[in-house]
């Protein structure tokens, strides 16, 4: 590994980042899920005033759940790999014990009587729901108060801002995110997390503000084991989205697998990427090649050319799709009077009202082409690699950063992971690994190999 690159991910330094590593202690009685939770709460106590990851917390509820888990481990009978795991829930989703405010004054104080599908599944698997994490306004671009745990002057990214920051700050081993354009993978990159955006539809997003045709539920975590455990537990209890086949894969994380061939994507984002970030990426690429992985690009195979061509302009495509799909409820919210929507949302609403059904259909057709061109690559390469973001988290909290590297995976519907393999100026940077629809375990196995070998 080149000295210029910080190997960001260091489990030894970030012990709390892996719940998985603590489980043996729960089983042999040297520690307990309650003690693990208390360590998390101490970190939250010390860091939350600056990081501002949470909108609401239910600490008594979390302690009671952790005590229940402690009893199960003591009896040698934990419910699942997430039994006892403290988890944060993005505030776009309902819980029975805390409001769901959607990052919007319209939903201020809105208290559901039920858990969202994934929250119910996680509780049934023994997880400890600690709090609701900050989201941008309705999961779109207008930011909340959360700061980057590595530099409070910088954005944590969005829209899963609080989940990304809570995991990045070692407040929690895992937290729930959702992505329509770049809301899981980009903040994971900015906050040094491992994140999984599974195949579109793999996890049930019922019970919240997430009806867009590209909304994906996913997970931020400090370890790949925990990220997969949460992903699997959600599917186990709640299935995928209605009409979708859901997540394929077993409870155990896929075996570590060295890929033979990876496609390196020359996406739109490279022109927006600074030199230090390019250099960090090149070092990971050089390392992959040194491990015997063939790095392919548009010169190597026509199917890569075709995919690159299909994903060109996909950030704009995402915005067009979202805006048409957001006409309702944004029109309802706009009609509720001034101050209910941010200026940013009002501007999107105006653009949305200029769109036609035919224009939207063209967008859907373009998205179908991306999906088909990704499928064509499935026999050509083992995965696709690019950045999670065009550079470290930008200064200031007014913008949650650039989604240009995230739109392709969102449009394609294939799984994507962000791996915290790089750093620039002491700030983490994510390496994005993309896979093929419904082959989430294949890409997870490659991610595991990279994390264990790099």
Residue 334 CB neighbour total at 10 angstroms? 16
Binding mask 316-335 for a second copy (x = CB under 8 A): --------xx-xxx-xxx--
Q: What are phi and psi of 88, to 5 degrees?
A: -105, 145
Residue 278 C-beta: closest distance to a second copy, Å: 35
Contact window for a second copy (CB under 8 A) among 135-143, 207-215, 274-282, 291-299: 207-215
Of 117 and 397, which CB lies nearer to a second copy in the complex structure?
A: 117
Contact status: 209 vs a second copy (CB under 8 A) = no
Question: Could you tell me whether strands 174-179 and 86-90 are parallel, antiparallel, or unpaired per DSSP bridges?
Answer: parallel
Touching a second copy, residues 230-259 (CB under 8 A): 235, 238-240, 242-247
Of 351 and 361, which CB lies nearer to a second copy in the complex structure?
A: 361
Residue 346 C-beta: closest distance to a second copy, Å: 17
Residue 328 C-beta: closest distance to a second copy, Å: 4
Candidates 4, 7, 351, 361: give the one binding a second copy (CB under 8 A).
361
Contact status: 429 vs a second copy (CB under 8 A) = no
| Helices 314-325 & 357-376 angle (0-180, nearest 10) | 140
Q: Is 203 helix (H, G, I), strand (E, B) or coil?
A: coil
Residue 133 C-beta: closest distance to a second copy, Å: 21
Candidates 64, 286, 364, 372: give the one binding a second copy (CB under 8 A).
364
Question: Could you tell me whether strands 427-434 and 416-424 are parallel, antiparallel, or unpaired per DSSP bridges?
Answer: antiparallel
Angle at 14 between CA 74 and CA 70, to 5 degrees: 10
Q: Please work out the total of residues on this chain that contact a second copy, with binding judged by CB under 8 A.
A: 39
Residue 248 C-beta: closest distance to a second copy, Å: 8
Contact status: 115 vs a second copy (CB under 8 A) = yes
Q: For residues 83 and 126, is the Cβ–Cβ distance under 8 A?
A: yes
Residue 240 C-beta: closest distance to a second copy, Å: 8
Q: Sheet harboring 416-424: ordered strands across? A: 54-57, 128-133, 86-90, 174-179, 216-221, 194-197, 416-424, 427-434, 383-387, 261-264, 294-296
Binding mask 21-60 for a second copy (x = CB under 8 A): ----------------------------------------
Angle at 450 between CA 248 and CA 180, to 5 degrees: 50
Alpha-helical segments (H) within 312-394: 314-325, 327-335, 343-353, 357-376
CA atoms of 382 and 313, how far apart (whole Å):
24
Residues engaged in binding a second copy (CB under 8 A): 96, 106, 113-115, 117, 120-121, 124, 204, 206-207, 211-214, 235, 238-240, 242-247, 324-325, 327-329, 331-333, 336, 357, 360-361, 364
């Amino acid at each position: 590994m080149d000295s210029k690159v910080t190997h960001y991910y260091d489990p030894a330094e970030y012990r709390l980042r892996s719940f998985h590593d603590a489980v043996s202690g729960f089983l042999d009685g040297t520690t307990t899920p309650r003690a693990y939770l208390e360590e998390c709460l101490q970190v939250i106590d010390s860091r939350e005033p600056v990081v501002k990851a949470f909108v609401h917390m239910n600490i008594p509820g979390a302690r009671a759940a952790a005590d229940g888990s402690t009893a199960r481990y003591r009896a040698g009978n934990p419910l699942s790999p997430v039994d006892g795991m403290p988890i944060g829930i993005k505030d776009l989703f309902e819980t029975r014990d805390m409001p769901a405010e959607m990052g919007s004054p319209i939903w201020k104080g809105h208290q559901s009587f039920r858990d969202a599908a994934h929250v119910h599944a996680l509780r049934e698997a023994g997880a400890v729901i600690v709090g609701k994490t900050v989201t941008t306004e309705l999961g779109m671009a207008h930011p909340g108060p959360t700061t980057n745990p590595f530099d409070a002057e910088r954005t944590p990214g969005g829209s899963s801002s609080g989940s990304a920051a809570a995991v990045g700050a070692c407040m929690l081993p895992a937290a729930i995110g959702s992505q329509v354009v770049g809301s899981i993978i980009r903040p994971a990159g900015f906050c040094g997390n491992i994140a999984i955006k599974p195949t579109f539809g793999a996890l049930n997003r019922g019970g919240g503000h997430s009806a867009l045709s590209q909304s994906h539920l996913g997970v931020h975590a400090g370890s790949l084991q925990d990220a997969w455990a949460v992903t699997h537990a959600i599917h186990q209890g709640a299935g995928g989205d209605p009409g979708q086949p859901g997540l394929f894969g077993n409870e155990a994380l896929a075996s570590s697998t060295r890929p033979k061939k990876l496609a390196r994507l020359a996406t739109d984002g490279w022109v927006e990427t600074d030199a230090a970030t390019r250099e960090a990426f090149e070092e990971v690429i050089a390392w992959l090649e040194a491990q015997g992985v063939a790095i392919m690009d548009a010169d190597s195979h026509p199917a890569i050319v075709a995919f690159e061509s299909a994903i060109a302009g996909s950030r704009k495509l995402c915005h067009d799709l979202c805006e048409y799909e957001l006409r309702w409820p944004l029109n309802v919210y706009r009609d509720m009077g001034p101050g209910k929507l941010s200026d940013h949302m009002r501007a999107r609403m105006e653009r949305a009202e200029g769109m036609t059904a035919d224009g939207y259909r063209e967008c859907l057709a373009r998205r179908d082409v991306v999906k088909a061109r990704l499928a064509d690559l499935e026999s050509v390469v083992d995965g696709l690699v690019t950045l999670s973001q065009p550079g470290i988290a930008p200064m200031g909290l007014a913008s949650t950063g650039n989604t240009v590297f995230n739109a392709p995976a969102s449009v394609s519907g294939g799984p994507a992971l962000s791996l915290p393999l790089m750093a620039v100026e002491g700030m983490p940077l994510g390496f994005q690994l993309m896979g093929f629809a419904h082959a989430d375990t294949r890409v997870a196995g490659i991610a595991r190999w990279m994390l264990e070998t790099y």
